[in-house]
């Protein structure tokens, strides 16, 4: 007779933790060993009694009264904390900086978008200008259209609606002198016949210049 | 499998429905509480663990694979929390069966006396006791215990069988004392 089956092996046998070969060995031994049979019966009884008693204990044991209410209160508190903590990160200075940077980035994107749209149309214009130059005004005329051509003479035809008359004279030399003085003062005068016009915004300043030169002219 | 009425209860409880929460708590709480109490041996700790397990179970219900009931999901979380506590807290073994509020009949005509069993259980190490309680109180298989406690099956077996041995030795000692 080989040595007896140990306690672990018998428990593993009961728990079906052995492989096929091991089970065969255990069964063969048990058939011929009364001592191991007794041990197996004792272990089985002990385990069954343990299950029965623990099961009864667990059925009888319960938390002190009112515990579902306590649990509910705790759950309600935890939900409240979760809701509060959902935005708590926003109070952190690091996150605040990130939020500010994000806002600036968003603003830049919004501002940049129209530019983006404009660039392709400019490129398209350049192509069109190359293919069909007649359909586009000359660059010089374009500048004058927008009043950006400082080098050009004031265009008699180009009178903008927000311009006001600041001087008028039958003497062309006088008109020329006023025109020159206003140009020197960078007030962008425009001549229309015997009249001199400036942007409404420059009216006061232009009138002061004109008063000055006409007084000088009068005294001289 | 999480059946439809139970799923509804869980959804309502998550939204803060006290009634639904109460139903789940009454249905699953006591049993889980009992097993946790046997493991940690302190009513306050046991209640805290069960509460925490409920909160976790409801909060993380999305991760639940729905292969079992809400009760099983809750048990897994509760036992894991209890086991974590046992590992953190090295306790002094001793008899604390007075934790059990219900009187234990010392005259149970059985080969294993309940009073003696509770005394013997208190002698086991927390890790051994946890495994014994889950195997015999909650009827979990060795593989299920390994999954719940996140330990190898070999460790479960050695703790369980060594636990049996220690329980038997302790019960023998107690009976000899009585004689």
Looking at the complex, does the CB of residue A46 fall below 8 Å from at least one CB of chain B? Answer: yes
Contact indicator for A52, A59 with CB cutoff of 8 Å: no
A196 backbone dihedrals φ, ψ, rounded to 5°: -120, 130
Domain borders along chain B are 1-89, 94-179
pLDDT interval class at A89 (50, 70, 90): low
Clarify whether residues A146 and A165 are in a common domain. no
For residue B118, the chain A residues in CB contact (below 8 A) are 57
How far apart are alpha carbons A67 and B1 in whole angstroms? 27
Q: Identify whether A73 is part of a domain.
A: no
CATH domain B1-89 topology: Rna Polymerase Sigma Factor; Chain: A (1.10.1740)
Interface ipTM = 0.76
Fold annotation for B94-179: Arc Repressor Mutant, subunit A (1.10.10)
Within a domain: A109? no
What is the rounded average pLDDT for all residues in chain A?
Answer: 75
- Inter-chain contact A60–B38, Cβ cutoff 8 Å? no
Common-topology check for domains B1-89 and B94-179: no
The pTM of the full predicted model, rounded to 2 decimals, is 0.56
Q: Is the pLDDT of residue A62 over 90?
A: no
* A66 in any annotated domain: no
Total tally of structural domains belonging to chain A: 3
Instruction: Tell me the CA distances in angstroms from A165 to A158, A160, A183, A196, one per residue in order.
Output: 14, 11, 15, 6
B160 — pLDDT class (breaks 50, 70, 90): very high
Identify whether A69 is part of a domain: no
* pLDDT of B121: 85
Question: Is residue A140 assigned to a domain?
Answer: yes
Domain that holds residue A142: 123-150
Same domain, residue pair A142 and A194: no
Residue finishing a domain among A39, A59, A79: A59
Last residue of a domain, one of A59, A80, A96: A59
Residue A167 falls inside a structural domain: yes
> In this predicted model, which residue has the larger pLDDT, A159 or B62?
B62
Model confidence over A163-215: pLDDT tens digits?
888 988 888 888 888 988 998 888 888 888 888 998 888 888 898 888 888 77
* Residue B104 clears pLDDT 80, i.e. is over it: no
Would the pLDDT of B116 be above 50? yes
In total, the C-beta contacts within 8 angstroms joining chain A to chain B are 128
Using CA coordinates, name the residue in chain A closest to B153: A17
């Amino acid at each position: 007779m080989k040595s007896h089956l140990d306690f672990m092996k018998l428990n593993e046998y009961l728990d079906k933790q052995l492989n096929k070969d091991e089970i065969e060995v255990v069964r063969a031994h048990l058939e011929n060993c009364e001592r191991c049979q007794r041990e197996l019966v004792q272990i089985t009884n002990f385990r069954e009694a343990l299950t029965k008693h623990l099961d009864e204990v667990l059925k009888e044991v319960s938390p002190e009264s009112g515990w579902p209410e306590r649990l509910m209160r705790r759950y309600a508190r935890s939900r409240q904390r979760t809701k509060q903590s959902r935005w708590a990160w926003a109070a952190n200075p690091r996150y605040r900086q990130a939020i500010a940077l994000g806002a600036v980035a968003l603003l830049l994107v919004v501002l940049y978008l129209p530019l983006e749209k404009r660039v392709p149309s400019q490129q398209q214009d350049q192509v069109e200008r190359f293919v069909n130059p007649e359909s586009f005004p000359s660059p010089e005329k374009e500048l004058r259209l927008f009043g950006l051509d400082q080098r050009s003479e004031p265009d008699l035809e180009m009178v903008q609606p927000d311009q006001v008359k600041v001087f008028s004279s039958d003497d062309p030399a006088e008109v020329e002198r006023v025109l020159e003085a206003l140009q020197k003062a960078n007030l962008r005068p425009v001549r229309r016949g015997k009249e001199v016009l400036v942007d409404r915004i420059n009216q006061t300043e232009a009138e002061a210049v004109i008063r000055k030169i006409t007084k000088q002219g009068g005294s001289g | 499998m999480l059946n439809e009425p139970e799923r509804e209860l869980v959804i309502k409880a998550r939204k803060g429905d006290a009634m639904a929460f109460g139903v789940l708590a009454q249905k699953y709480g006591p049993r889980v509480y009992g097993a946790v109490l046997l493991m940690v041996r302190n009513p306050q700790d046991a209640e805290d663990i069960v509460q925490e397990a409920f909160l976790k179970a409801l909060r993380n219900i999305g991760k639940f694979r729905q292969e079992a009931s809400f009760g099983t999901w809750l048990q897994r979380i509760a036992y894991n929390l209890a086991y974590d506590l046992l590992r953190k807290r090295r306790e002094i073994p001793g008899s604390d069966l007075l934790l059990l509020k219900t009187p234990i009949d010392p005259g149970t005509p059985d080969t294993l006396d309940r009073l003696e069993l509770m005394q013997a259980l208190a002698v086991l190490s927390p890790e051994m006791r946890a495994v014994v309680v889950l195997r015999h109180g909650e009827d979990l298989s060795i593989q299920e215990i390994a999954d719940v406690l996140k330990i190898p099956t070999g460790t479960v077996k050695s703790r369980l069988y060594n636990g049996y041995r220690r329980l038997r030795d302790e019960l023998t000692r107690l009976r000899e004392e009585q004689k």
